Amino acid sequence: MLLDYHIHAAAHGEYSYSWSWLEQFMNTARSRQLIEIGFTEHDEYINMIDFQLLERIRQENDDITVKIGLEVDYWEGREKEIRQIVAGYPFDYIIGSIHYIDGWAFDHPDYKDKFDSMDLDDICQRYFDLVNSSVRSGLFTVIGHIDLVKKWGHRPVKHNLRYYTKDVLNNIKKSDLTVEINSAGLRKPVAEMYPSREILELMAEMKIPITLSSDAHHPSEVGVGVAEAASMAWAVGYREIASFSRGSRIMLPLVL
Ligand SMILES: [Zn+2]
Ligand SMILES: [Zn+2]
């Protein structure tokens, strides 16, 4: 029983919503035996979302449950704006993601050279401080690609990523949030899931709920890597995955 809770139909604005475009996402989901998928555009492209079309897709595909979420960029000071953005539609869930460290788009290929001129431990500390603030903001249901800072393969020197994640995980547990296992990292230079297995082991010990995602930016990527994500979750002790309906979490059995 697999789901994919992180899909961008508009990608980074290069595709637009149409029935035939969305059907391609549904067809891939069907071919990969997904029972549930969630469309989650970047909030930057919220005006490109055709909510009526999504509702129709939802109604006319009864073999796959369709959820409507949003992936929201978090940075400190943006809380009020985010509250206004998410109030406009009854989303099933909101993914909170860090794509900027103090204005630096660290995960964008054009700006990755900056990693070479900065202290990697300082970058990690600042990145996870921001994740921590996003957790404490109370604005999100799911924490997106929690250790994205490793995307280009850079590693902190003084401590490992598990060390930097610990405080964040404590706050996630306290706030009862869900963390996605995002397979996109497998397709990036780091070549591992977000989060890595050692962080997921820590999450399993703490009983932090998980969901599964591909972070697809094209129909061909729907469901890619979610079976591997599910296997990794099973291996570290997970037996349930989270789904969401209008903000409420529903736990489903994890079936490989
Ligand atoms: Zn993202
Ligand atoms: Zn995404």
Which 3-state string (H, E, C) describes 40-101? EEEHHHHHHCCHHHHHHHHHHCCCCEEEEEEEEECCCCCHHHHHHHHCCCCCCEEEEECCCE
* Long-range contacts at 25-29 (CB < 8 A, ≥ 24 apart): 25/216, 25/219, 25/222, 26/57, 26/61, 26/64, 26/66, 27/219, 28/219, 28/220, 28/221, 28/222, 28/223, 29/4, 29/64, 29/222, 29/223
| Ligand whose nearest atom lies closest to the CA of 145 | 1
Q: State the fold for domain 2-253.
A: TIM Barrel (3.20.20)
Could you give the count of Cα atoms lying within 13 Å of 197 in the half-sphere of its Cβ? 11
Task: Please give the distance, rounded to the nearest whole angstrom, from the Cα atom of residue 43 to the centre of ligand 1.
Answer: 10
Nearest ligand to the C-alpha atom of residue 105: 1
Instruction: Kindly list the domain boundaries of the chain, sorted by start residue.
Output: 2-253
- Tokens for 238? 């997970």
Query: Can you read off the two tokens belonging to residue 182?
Result: 């995002």
- Per-chain residues with Cβ under 5 A from ion ligand 1: 97
**Rounded average pLDDT over 107-123:** 96
pLDDT in tens, 138-190: 999 999 999 999 999 999 999 999 999 999 999 999 999 999 999 999 999 99
Tens-digit pLDDT profile for residues 180-231? 999 999 999 999 999 999 999 999 999 999 999 999 999 999 999 999 999 9
Both tokens of 211, joined, read 């969901």
Distance 42 CA to ligand 1 centre (A): 8
Question: In sequence order, what are the residues at sequence separation of 6 or more whose Cβ sits closer than 8 angstroms to the Cβ of residue 56?
Answer: 19
Per-residue confidence band for 256, with pLDDT thresholds at 50, 70 and 90: confident
Structure tokens at 225: 């890597």
CB distance 22 to 53 below 8 Å? yes
Q: How far is the CA of 31 from the centre of ligand 2 (A)?
A: 22
Cα dihedral across residues 59, 61, 63, 64: positive or negative: negative
Please write the tens of the pLDDT for every residue from 226-251.
999 999 999 999 999 999 999 999 99
Beta carbons of 243 and 254 less than 8 angstroms apart: no
Give the global pTM.
0.97
Beta bridge partners of 241: 252
Contact by Cβ (8 Å): 223, 213: no
Distance of CA 44 from the midpoint of ligand 1 (Å): 12
89 alpha carbon – ligand 2 mean position (Å): 19
Q: How many angstroms separate the alpha carbon of residue 15 from the centre of ligand 1? A: 17
- Whether the per-residue pLDDT at 75 is higher than 90: the answer is yes
The tokens describing 254, both together, are: 């994890």
Q: Considering every ligand atom shown, identify the ligand nearest to the alpha carbon of residue 99 and give its number.
A: 1
Q: Where are the alpha helices (DSSP H) in the chain?
A: 19-31, 51-60, 79-86, 120-136, 161-175, 197-206, 226-235
